Amino acid sequence: MTEDALLFRLTGVSHSYGEQPVLHGIDLCVRRGEKLALLGPSGAGKSTLLNLLYEQRPGECALQPQGGALVELLSVYHNIFMGGLDRVGTLASLWNLVRPLPAARRDITAMAHQLGLEEKLWHSVDRLSGGQRQRVAIGRALYRQQPIYLGDEPVSSLDPLQAQLLLSHVLAQHETAVVSLHNRRLALENFDRVVVLRDGRICCDSPAAALSSEQLDAWYLQASSPDGHPVAGTTDDDSWVIRTS
């Protein structure tokens, strides 16, 4: 691997919040052009890992954090516009709060149509459903116009069809992506590589084409059991269903 092709490298990285350890001895490289799915149960350290990657190249990343980090009382338009603040000056940004900039309004209106948000463009995000809020967060990430996308469960509140369509669109708009998911089908069908975290450690790092749903289920079920054995009565649908709103 040439240095030009390497975007992220973590070597033996551990991380804690106060006295609470979260990651243990993480070794991970991400190459330019890779689409990597990050899987694992809640609390495995996926969000922390994404944040550590973001800190290495903040100026090249569009980060979509879990929950969206939207400004509740601002409109859909203004929340998406925030993704492009680096491209406009302070005065223009303040003016845009009162009277939207013509070019930005045109581009964001077109994006809202693509995201199914055209009728909500001037609504404050506190009036939106969970799925609509996730689409706003996706719009803001797209409006960042960066080559790297880091998404933390970006489509978890969308129904399966919307999740597939929007995830495909987001991946197509970014050269490189690392995305935390709770859905093995989306991981296997849309990504080049799958990394599974368990208890803050990488327990699987493999090309997606070399994995099956059953293998991913086994990793997930082992992580869900205190003794490391699959949990009786846990089904594929129970463990990997997309949450809807």
Is 135's pLDDT higher than 60?
yes
Average pLDDT, the chain: 88
Residue 163 CA: distances (Å) to CA of 29, 74, 149, 171, 190: 27, 25, 16, 12, 11
Percent share of the chain, pLDDT over 90: 74
Q: What is the pLDDT of residues 174-199, one digit of tens each?
A: 999 999 998 999 999 999 999 999 99
Q: What is the pLDDT of residues 33-74, one digit of tens each?
A: 999 999 998 889 999 999 999 999 999 999 999 988 999 999
What is the pTM assigned to this prediction?
A: 0.86
Q: What is the pLDDT of residues 147-172, one digit of tens each?
A: 999 999 999 999 999 999 999 999 99
Answer CATH for 3-240 from 3.30.530.20, 3.90.230.10, 3.40.50.300, 3.30.230.80: 3.40.50.300
Residue 204 CA: distances (Å) to CA of 61, 126, 129, 208, 218: 25, 38, 35, 11, 11
Is 27's pLDDT higher than 70?
yes
